[in-house]
Chain A
Amino acid sequence: MSSQNLFELSQVAKRFTKGKETISIFHDLNMQIKEGDFLAIMGPSGSGKTTLLNLLGGVDQPTEGQITFDGQRIDNLSEGQLAKWRANNIGFIFQFYNLMPMLNAARNVELPLLLTNMSRSERKQQVKVALELVGLSDRASHMPSEMSGGQQQRVAIARAVVSDPKFLLCDEPTGDLDRQTADEILQTLQLLNEKFGKTIVMVTHDPSAAKFAKHTVHLNKGEFVKAEELLV
């Protein structure tokens, strides 16, 4: 397993302005995430977990500081460049799955491949592989409304990995599931990390979920309160 840094956050600050008030989420945040890691980020509401996730996902940009991914700065990219970067490097897994309700499972999984130059048959093959990986080959033509929460989250995972990104960002991926289903989802993430080498960052409230990760960090008021070996 490589030990190179995939992500580096250097002196990152993030502030929001609300009316005349400025709210500081982070100031001088430093962090590295090594390639192949599975990191759980825990913390109470308002601790900055989701903001950190958005920064890592190129969905939001820091007010100050630098973020590099695989040696490339992403904090100074334009909206369009960030979209391309996300398409090439990130797979998102959301708490409420965020599937397109009007598309069947296969069409949902295919969406990231529409951003590539793959032919229709290549896309079909990739979708088949991704659905097999999450154990839903037989549900390809099912609509999201015809599937359980766990199955929908599996489709969302298939969508996240179908274009083979290096990095998976999970926002409370088991927050809407029962314990048994949650464990199955977390085992799938573990498989993706250990067998397929995906680097995973997962935001969660659930200590049981965090146990599936290789490392756990705790955020409180924008600061890491318990240092692990990845923290500076």
Chain B
Amino acid sequence: MSNIMSQSTAVIVMNIRSLPRRLWMSLAMVFASAVVVAILLAFLAMAKGFEATMQSAGSDDIAFFMRTGSAAELNSSASKEQVNLIENAPGIIKDEQGQLVSPELYVIVDGVKKSTQQEANIPLRGLSQRGVDMRKGFTLMAGRMFTPGTDELIVGAGILREFDGFDLGQEIHFGKYTWKVVGVFSTGGNVFESELWADAKVIQNLYNRGSSYQTVRARIGSPDDIAAINDYLKSEPRLTHEVQTESAYFATQGKSLEYMAIFGWVISSIMALGALAGALNTMYTSVSDRAMEIATLRAIGFSSMSAFIGTMVEAMTLAVLGSLVGALVAFIFFDGLNASTLGGSFTQVVFSFQLTSDLFVKGITMALVIGFISGVFPAWRAARVPVIVAFQSAR
């Protein structure tokens, strides 16, 4: 075994040292792997960033009520009477002012994207101070909170970053109504930062919603309370709602960009096929270029296994080198890149591409697959050519 190890190590060192003789072919393989990995990571980082933006918004200790059958907040509704019934559900925490419940409204307004100067949907959420308190990580970055009963709103940091016209102190026109931006808030980069917040009662009035809301959030002691609340909803015929933890709701919403990851795998796999063709050419050239050396080593007594391993390691090294370049390019150009896309309620969700360590591992794995397939056939040729034929080709 140590014999094979020392043979293989010697062959690997020779192969790597002879790379400058095949510089351009080797660089072509590195480049092809780099492009495949960079594109794969770009798509995966997009999906990951979106998922993280959605999932980090949810809390396990918030019960989230929507009308049964509603896929998103926009489609839901809850009358004043239903909100009162929900307040009586078991497990909801109280304080000195009563149950910690936040009935909310969710309407769509227009904004102009900075990147394209095109109009896109933005959610305008109506809520009270109780609702604001239920958002984890909420901080007012600039200005102040809106005053209840007025046409003031506060704007999420993501909206400020991606859309025109929402600067602090600015007046905004949605239809015939004029609003004033009095504050900028952050919720730690999650989906709530892609929203505008104003007083729920003002929105009820301006958008003719009467006394009704759309969704209800309630603080609960633990996620286990959801079962008891569910039983309560089933036993109360006036309630047509279903409940889940807020984190469960956003986890489902976060999966809506999963197709991006799948698309990324498909695109990069197709590109990998092209890269494979080039890589195979590179490796066959390498075997041909080293024919005299392979033949000489085998004549001396080196095993065919060492020729196989040497070629495989060369292919894998070039592919991994490419993946590192690709990962670096993806990191420089995509990590933290801001983008917005349509979320579950047909509104724009602002998110940042996220390149995490598990994505890098996926990129390198992809490159290893390219390296393995592009190496195995040339390596087989290097190992199996009879020594006599290799001598002849070397002459």
Instruction: Please report the number of residue pairs spanning A and B whose Cβ atoms sit closer than 8 angstroms.
Output: 65
Q: Tell me whether B299 and A115 are in contact (CB under 8 A).
A: no
Interface of chain B, helix or strand or loop or mixed? helix
Q: Does B380 contact A (CB under 8 A)?
A: no
| Bound CA span A94–B295, Å | 12
Q: Tell me whether A87 and B300 are in contact (CB under 8 A).
A: yes
Q: Tell me whether B300 and A86 are in contact (CB under 8 A).
A: yes
> What residues of chain B lie closer than 8 Å to A114, measured between beta carbons?
3, 6-7, 10, 302
Within 8 A of B (CB), among A148-167: 159
**Which A residue's beta carbon lies closest to that of B5?**
A114
Given contacts A54-B388, A79-B386, A102-B14, contact A115 B304 (CB under 8 A): no
Within 8 A of B (CB), among A108-150: 111-112, 114-117
| Bound CA span A92–B388, Å | 13
> What residues of chain A lie closer than 8 Å to B292, measured between beta carbons?
98
Contact partner of B391 (CB less than 8 A), chosen from A59, A101, A103, A159, is A59
Size of the chain B interface, CB-CB below 8 angstroms: 25
Q: Tell me whether B3 and A117 are in contact (CB under 8 A).
A: yes
Q: Tell me whether B300 and A112 are in contact (CB under 8 A).
A: yes
Q: Tell me whether B302 and A115 are in contact (CB under 8 A).
A: yes
Q: Does B2 contact A (CB under 8 A)?
A: yes
| A161 shortest CB reach to chain B, Å | 12
Q: Tell me whether B300 and A115 are in contact (CB under 8 A).
A: yes
Q: Tell me whether B296 and A94 are in contact (CB under 8 A).
A: yes
Given contacts A102-B14, A117-B3, contact A83 B391 (CB under 8 A): no
> What residues of chain B lie closer than 8 Å to A48, measured between beta carbons?
none
| Bound CA span A80–B301, Å | 9
> What residues of chain A lie closer than 8 Å to B14, measured between beta carbons?
100, 102-103
Q: Tell me whether A102 and B301 are in contact (CB under 8 A).
A: no
| B6 shortest CB reach to chain A, Å | 5
| Bound CA span A111–B391, Å | 18
Q: Tell me whether B304 and A79 are in contact (CB under 8 A).
A: yes
Given contacts A79-B386, A94-B296, A101-B18, contact A115 B301 (CB under 8 A): yes
Instruction: Give 1 or 0 for each of A70-111: 1 = CB within 8 Å of chain B CB.
Output: 000000000110011011100010100010111100000001
| Bound CA span A98–B299, Å | 11
Chain B interface residues (CB < 8 Å from chain A): 2-3, 6-7, 10, 14, 17-18, 292-293, 295-304, 386-388, 391, 394
Given contacts A80-B304, A111-B297, 11 further A-B contacts (CB under 8 A): A54-B388, A59-B299, A60-B386, A83-B302, A92-B300, A98-B394, A102-B14, A112-B300, A115-B300, A115-B301, A117-B2
Chain A interface residues (CB < 8 Å from chain B): 54, 57, 59-60, 79-80, 83-84, 86-88, 92, 94, 98, 100-103, 111-112, 114-117, 159
